[in-house]
Each structure stands twice: as C-alpha cells, then as structure tokens.
Structure 1
Amino acid sequence: MPLLRFLCAASCPTTIPTTAATAQLVATMSTKPSALSPSSSTSGDEFPLPLPDLPAHVREKILSLEVMGVDSGRALALNPALRAATPDSIHSIISYLLSKGIHHKDLPRVLGMCPTILTSSIRSDLSPVFAFLSRDLGVPATHVRRVINKCPRLLASSVRDQLRPALIYLHRLGFRDARVLAYQEPVLLVSSVEKTLIPKLQYLVGLGLSREEAVAMVLRCPGLFTFSIENNFKPKYEYLVREMGGSLEDLKEFPHYFGFSLEKRIKPRHQQLRESGINVPLSLMLRTTDEEFEELIHKMNT
C-alpha cells in the first residue's frame, strides 16, 4: 500500500500502521465509520462508508482518504469518478499539492470541500490554477496556501471558463487590486458571472438604484455578491422598508446591512429601539456590540 504508507509516514513519521492494525481499521470501517475522523461524525449517516468486501486497491484508497482526515463515504458520493481513480494517481495529486505549499493538515478541509480535486489533471486543471494565482493575481508562492485555504474551490475551478472571466468582470466593475480579491474575496472568483454576479447586481438595480449606485455598494461591501436573493436580499429589504421605514438611501450609506442576521440582529435591535422611541443610523444600530448597544439606549433614554 504505497499511498497509505506515504500518507502515514508524512503525517505521522513515528507511527506507521502494521498490517494487523490496517486490517483492524478496515474491519472497524464497516461498523463504525463515524469514529474514524471528525468529518465523518457529521455526515456518516448521509454518506455511508463503503463496506470492506472490496478489492485491496479499493480498500487502500478508502483507508488513504480516512488517514488524510477526509470522509471517504462523502468524497466517493460527491465524486463518483474517485471510484475508478488509482492509488498512484491520488498519490500524484497529493504530492503535487504538497509541493505547492499545501500542508498535510490542510487536506481534510481542502479535499473534504472539493473531492473532485483528487481526480483532476495536474497538467490541465491544477497547474493552470497555480499559474493564475501567481500571474493574474500576483500571489507569491509563499502565500498560495493562505489563498487556497480560504477558498479551496479555486482548485476545482477552470481558469478559462470560470476564474479568468470572473476576474475580468470584477475588474470592469472596479475591483482593481487583484491581490485584495485573492486574499479577502476569493469566493467571488469562483462565482459564475452569468448565474451569480450579474443577477445580484441586477436585483439591486431593480430596487431603484442606478447601476453606478449598485456598483458602488458592491465595491464597498463585496460580500453582497455572496448573499442569496431569495433568502437574504428580499426578506431584509422588505423588513427595512415595511417595518423600519427605511429607504434605498439607508442601503447606499450602509450596504453591510445585508450582512447581519435578520432574526438574531436586525429585528431584535430594531424592536428594542422602537420600544425606546429611539432612531439611529443602521450602522450604529448593527455594528455596535451588545454592551455598546445597551449603553447607547441607556444614554439616549436619560
């Protein structure tokens, strides 16, 4: 089991499982998959671990995923192509990621979120992404790990079909500093221009904002591009207008309003202000800590 030995030696250099230990682990996997790793405990029922009555190379693949801290049942369910992948091909992917600065401790998150990485092509898929990070975004090799950990989906995205079109669109909107996008908002780069970015900007324009005003809002608060229209924009805008008597001017001044929880932050604080007969700007209402908010109400009531 070269892949399994490689992973065990790299992650636990002083403890390499014996054949008996490996057999015991395989037996355990058939009855208690949730005990193998933290990630398995949350999804073991939804993605049951395959039974061990499989060929040796398949069992090695399953064990290797578990040794990395990746829920093998979930990974196989989300990436069926992984069933046909050879241990050697997985070994090559892991070795390549490690050579690019990714740490072993990063693998559970990176591969757990995007198991398709394990069946990608180094030459056609992964290498272009690292080149994009370096050439297009200006990310030095020493900082690549930081960017990938923030958004593992970068490694599962096509440079030609996804990353570069998104970067071009964001540049045209006014996101000039590519490194800021890389370090702070890389999720925007993996967002579809046609299905995500444009529709959300159009929704803001549909509220009555000019396109320039809507663009100014997303430049100040890029997180707007990550919020759901149906589950975030609509209910929060309706509450602002109908219950709070707010307007588009409030949103232009404080677009971060959409980033606060409607049920846990916006409604409770608005109701408390209303009961106290106090009116304050959205930013003061929402950005203050609980202690600062209580002190604010106390001062304005005395």
Structure 2
Amino acid sequence: MPQAAGAVALRSSLCSMSYEKTSSPSRSTLHVAPKPTSLLQNHPLYPQTHAKLSLEFKEKILCLEVMGVDAGKALSQNPELRTVSLESIHSIISFLMSKGLQEKDLPRIFGMCPKILTSDIKTDLNPVFDFILQELKVPEHSFRRVVNKCPRLLTSSVKDQLTPAFIYLRRLGFKDLVALAYQDSVLLVSNVENTLIPKLKFLETLGLSKDEVRSMVLRCPALLTFSIENNFQPKYEYLAGEMGRKLEELKEFPQYFAFSLENRIKPRHMEIVQSGISLPLSVMLKSTDEDFRQLITQGGG
C-alpha cells in the first residue's frame, strides 16, 4: 500500500468519528472506531523500534501524525497526552467538529495548543463556547472563524482568564464585539495584571495621559500585544532620539509601533535625512516602496 493511501486509510480507521445530535441538544452519542491492530502494524509509519511502547501509545502517536500534528512536539508541550486514552482524543475531535471546526483546521489548532487534546469537554471546552456565544455574541455558525483566529481561547479558563479580560477591555472602551471576537480575540487570552496594564502604564511614562493612551490602543489594539522591552522601548528611543520626532506624532499615529525598526523605520528615516526632506510619520511608514521612492524623488511634495 503506498504511504499516502496508507495514511488516508489509517486516519479513517484510527481517527474516524461521528457526532450525532439527539433530540436533546445537550446529549450526543459518540461512535469510536475499534483499534485496527493489523492495519496499524502493517502501516509504513508504524514505529518498529521502541518495542516497549504500548500499542495504544503508538496508536496515539500515529493518529496525531496522520492528522498532521507533530506528535513529539505535542507530547513535549503536553505530557498528559502520554496517559490520555485514544477514545478521549476521538471525543475531543468529535466535539470540536460538532461546533463547526473542520478536519483541515485541526493540525494547526492542536499544533498550537496540544493542551486541547487532554481537555475536559464539560468543564473546559463547553464553557468557552458558551462564553463565545453569550458574551461575544458570536452565532454558532461562526464559531469556526473565532477559534481559528485564536485557538488559545480553547485552553483559557472562562472564570480566571476570559471573563476578567473581557470586563477590563470593555471598561477600557472596546465596545465593538465583532472586532473583539474576530480580530482582537488574542487580547482576551492576555493576562490583565501581568500583560495589559503594564503596557498601558509604560506608554503613560512617555508623557501620555491615561485618556491619550486609551485612545491610542482603541485605534490600534495591536499595541496591547507588543513587547515593552523589544518594541515600545527601542522604537520610542529611536523616535525621540535619532528621529527627533515629537510625542504628538505618536499620539496621532500609534501604528508606528507596528512597523519593523530595522527593516522599515530606520532605512526610511535615513533616506529622508539624506534627501533633506520632511514627511509626516504616517506617510513615511505607510507608503508603498514605489510611492516612497516617488516622494523622495519629488522632494516630499
């Protein structure tokens, strides 16, 4: 059997499942395929070495690999995978697909968050989908879009992480639930005390008021995802020092922090200095390479 065909057969045998909804929306029946011992042992991906490993453990490894998940990396990041049953993994996959996730989504989701594979459906996953539905007002047919945007939602505690972050962001001024669900959902998995607040306070140390900082992050939510040490600090020092720009420009164009210091900000600033022209910060950075060259040629006009 060719390896590609064998992989398909193995996936259908090891990782096949169906999730049937009954008349009660809260109850479902999961059908797990029996262990295909002969197919497994004859499969080209079957690890002939490591003979001491149990058959079920090898099945788990193959199931992950055939799905497109790096089993070694997943086991390293989530050691609980060593003891969880294959049937439990099947249940997780079935549950996610019942929520609108597709098979092609799973390698990336599990690769980024292998902890999902050992989650408890009732106490871990169901509350997250309830949060997405009830707090973010996301309809069930759009669950897939939200989870694909931020798989870490599925590994976050609703009580300890998602709800506190949601309340804080709403108080900060994030009123657009659509944007929060589909674009800025990574903010919901950011720790309020250790991540969000320190970034706001650092921006205030630059001489910005709380209201000015709030306005900046609402215009550019990505600011709350940037590192103080690797982004804010070096970029501001270059802005105020080498570029001699005023804080007012930063207030007007907070997207400055989203551009690469080495690949965009410094090269373009140096070209402007050499050309002896002056450009607004936003024009200098947002212009395409072609438009920027044209501005340099025309002397900034």
* Band the TM-score falls in, shorter-chain normalisation: 0.7 to 0.9
Tell whether the 8 Å contact from 2:17 to 2:90 is kept in structure 1 after alignment: no
Aligned equivalent of 2:177? 178
Partner residue in 2 for 1:58 = 57
Question: 1:210-232: per-residue Cα shift (whole Å, max 9, x none)?
Answer: 11111110000000000000000
In 2, the alpha carbon distance for the partners of 1:106 and 1:93 equals: 14
2:283 is aligned to 284
Between the aligned partners of 2:208 and 2:300, the Cα distance in structure 1 is 35
TM-superposed CA distance for 1:177, in Å, is 1.5
More helix by share: 1
SS of the residue 1:24 aligns to: coil
SS at match of 1:128: helix
Equivalent position SS for 1:243: coil
Which residue of the partner structure matches residue 119 of structure 1? 118
Is structure 2 residue 44 aligned with structure 1 residue 24? Answer: yes
Moved runs in structure 1, 4+ residues, more than 6 A? 1-4
Deviations, residues 23-63 of structure 1 (Å, cap 9, x unaligned): 421137x6xxxxxxxxxxxxxxxxxxxx4541000000100
Contact kept? 1:4, 1:60, Cα under 8 Å: no
Q: Secondary structure at the match of 1:25?
A: coil
- 52-61 vs 110-119, greater mean Cα deviation: 52-61
| d(CA) in 2 for partners of 1:143, 1:269 | 41
Deviation string 1:224-249 (CA, Å, 9 cap, x unpaired) is 00000000000000000000001211
Unaligned ranges ≥5, structure 2: 1-8, 19-35
CA shift in 2, pair 1:57/1:201, >3 Å: same
Instruction: Look up the match of 1:5.
Output: 13
Provide, for residues 39-97 of structure 1, a one-character-per-residue CA deviation record: whole Å limited to 9, x for no partner: xxxxxxxxxxxx45410000001001011110000000000111110001111100000
Counterpart position of 1:143 = 142
> What is the rounded CA distance, in whole Å, between the counterparts of 1:301 and 1:205 in structure 2?
32
Distance 2:68 2:51 in 1: 18
- How many residues align structurally? 276
Amino acid at match of 2:45: L
Partner of residue 108, structure 2: 109
Q: Structure 1 residues 91, 103: CA separation in 2 closer, same or farther (over 3 Å shift)?
A: same
Which residue does 1:251 correspond to in 2? 250
The residue identity in structure 1 corresponding to 2:96 is: L
| Coordinate RMSD, CA, aligned | 2.2
Unaligned runs of 5+ in 1: 11-15, 31-50
Question: Which residue is 1:198 aligned to?
Answer: 197
Match of 1:131 in 2: 130
* Cα shift readout 1:123-180 (whole Å, capped 9, x = no counterpart): 0000000011000001111111011111100001011110111010000000012221
* Amino acid of the structure 2 residue aligned with 1:25: L
Distance (Å, rounded) in 1 between the aligned partners of 2:293 and 2:241: 25
TM-score by length of 2: 0.87
| 1:3 CA displacement | 8.1
Cα distance change on mapping 1:22 and 1:183 into 2, 3 Å = farther
| Percent of residue pairs identical | 58
CA contact (8 A) 2:99 2:140 kept: yes
